[in-house]
Amino acid sequence: MNQSQQELRRAAAKAFMESLDQLGMSLSSPEEEVSEAKPAPASHAKTAPQKPPASASLTVEELEDAVADIEQFIQGIQNQNSEA
């Protein structure tokens, strides 16, 4: 694996961990603190979702989308590891 690929993997892993940290903070914090949190920069080509109002809660669809993104990320890492 060349250095460029390793740097991309590190950047993707860092962005993923930051997203997980932000998710953890938003799930454990009161709504007032969540509304002040900065959104993590998007590292994929999808359109960034609009920020919901502070009174809105997560929907099942949003959680399913998040799970799908995480599963896709993990599968990508596993595929890269099996190729190495």
d(CA 1, CA 54): 44
The amino acid that residue 49 corresponds to is P
The amino acid that residue 24 corresponds to is G
Domain boundaries, the chain: 3-83
Taking only the tens place, the pLDDT of each residue in 23-81 is: 888 887 665 554 555 555 555 556 666 665 655 677 889 889 999 999 999 999 888 88
Q: For the whole model, what pTM was predicted?
A: 0.35
Distances (CA, A) of 40 to 5, 20, 54, 80: 22, 10, 17, 24
